[in-house]
């Protein structure tokens, strides 16, 4: 991996982490297209640059974190299901990450589902005045577990989870962003810990790639978040659904044609 690879992957991370299109799926696709060698550092890098995306949420929603302390218990409750599932299913999740067919299939199926989401959960985009409850937070967290399957999209799962709890699109999207902070921080910390525990060493070049990757992901994620909330409130999920369907079909066609898509 070189600096150009790091920048491209960071742009992909920043653009897709908070959009309902699956950042993991796009990172796998991007790595495959660029032919980045599969090694432990590359795997850690693709997780660690989430830290930049995390910071973008903290910066954009700093009032929620520092002025409204009631948000912390809700985020903790929402984080619990993913934390438990991540510890119990890590080996199975790692196997799925090595299967690009899974990414293609989930992108396609998720896209089809998106075409019906706006009909299933019609909203006028206005925030509900009632605060999010413990039950809301926990059930949204359960939806987040589904996103451990590559291609599902963490933001999509949690936003849809919020819609099932009768939140508005804007409220569901913003809680999804906030919930990403503990979830992604834990995933990043666990990935770094596992790498070091297995004898991995970070060189000066590695730290440079980390720094560049997180900076780029931070800037791009801020732009993506600002644009996404307004777009989702006004237009819903259909556009993202068609995008996922097209991308999923293209990938399945390439796989069917015998194209070798090397993955992380």
- Predicted confidence band at 130 (pLDDT cuts at 50, 70, 90)? low
More confident call, 89 vs 144: 144
Q: Kindly tell me if the per-residue pLDDT of 263 is higher than 50.
A: no
Q: Kindly tell me if the per-residue pLDDT of 155 is higher than 50.
A: yes
Say what the pLDDT of residue 124 is.
52
Residue 261 domain-assigned?
Answer: no
Q: Give the whole-angstrom CA distance, residue 228 versus residue 78.
A: 22
For residues 187-207, average pLDDT: 87
- For residue range 228-237, list pLDDT tens digits in order: 877 877 778 8
Q: Give the whole-angstrom CA distance, residue 264 versus residue 222.
A: 26
Residue 120 and residue 130 in contact, taking contact as beta carbons nearer than 8 Å: no
Structural domain containing residue 86 = 3-256
Residue 223 domain-assigned?
Answer: yes
Is the model's pTM score more than 0.85? no
Say what the pLDDT of residue 229 is.
76
Residue 157 domain-assigned?
Answer: yes
Tokens of 23: 């950042």
Task: Say which range, 90-94, 135-139, 213-217, has the weakest mean pLDDT.
Answer: 90-94
For residues 178-185, average pLDDT: 89
Residue 10 domain-assigned?
Answer: yes
Residue 80 domain-assigned?
Answer: yes
Number of structural domains (the chain) is 1
Say what the pLDDT of residue 218 is.
94
DSSP state letters, 146-191: HTTSTTS-HHHHHHHHHHHTT--HHHHHHHHHHHHHHHHHHHHHHH
Burial 102-127 (b: 16+ CB within 10 A, else e): bbbbbbbebbeebbebbeebebeeee
Residue 204 domain-assigned?
Answer: yes
Residues of the chain above pLDDT 70, percent: 91
From residue 213, how far is each of 25, 128, 206 by CA, in Å?
18, 37, 10
For residues 224-247, average pLDDT: 85
Residue 155 and residue 232 in contact, taking contact as beta carbons nearer than 8 Å: no
Residue 264 domain-assigned?
Answer: no
Q: Kindly tell me if the per-residue pLDDT of 123 is higher than 90.
A: no
- Predicted confidence band at 169 (pLDDT cuts at 50, 70, 90)? confident
Residue 126 domain-assigned?
Answer: yes
Say what the pLDDT of residue 262 is.
55
């Amino acid at each position: 991996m070189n600096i150009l690879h790091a920048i491209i992957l960071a742009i992909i991370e920043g653009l897709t982490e908070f959009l309902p299109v699956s950042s993991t799926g796009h990172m796998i696709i991007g790595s495959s297209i660029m032919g980045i060698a599969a090694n432990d550092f590359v795997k850690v890098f693709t997780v660690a640059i989430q830290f930049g995306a995390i910071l973008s949420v903290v910066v954009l929603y700093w009032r929620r974190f520092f002025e409204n302390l009631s948000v912390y218990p809700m985020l903790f409750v929402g984080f619990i299901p993913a934390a438990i599932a991540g510890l119990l299913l890590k080996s199975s999740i790692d196997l799925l990450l090595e299967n690009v067919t899974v990414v293609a299939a989930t992108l396609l199926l998720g896209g089809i589902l998106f075409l019906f989401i706006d009909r299933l959960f019609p909203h006028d985009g206005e925030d509900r005045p009632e605060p999010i409850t413990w039950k809301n937070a926990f059930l949204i967290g359960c939806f987040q577990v589904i996103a451990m399957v590559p291609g599902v999209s963490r933001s999509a799962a949690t936003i849809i989870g919020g819609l099932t709890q009768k939140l508005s699109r804007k409220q569901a999207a913003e809680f999804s962003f906030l919930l990403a902070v503990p979830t992604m921080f834990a995933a990043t910390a666990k990935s770094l810990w596992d790498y070091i525990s297995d004898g991995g060493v970070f060189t000066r070049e590695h730290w440079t790639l980390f720094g560049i990757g997180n900076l780029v992901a931070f800037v791009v994620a801020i732009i993506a978040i600002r644009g996404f909330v307004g777009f989702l409130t006004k237009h819903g999920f259909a556009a993202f659904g068609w995008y996922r369907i097209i991308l999923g079909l293209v990938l399945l066609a390439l796989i069917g044609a015998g194209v070798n898509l090397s993955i992380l």
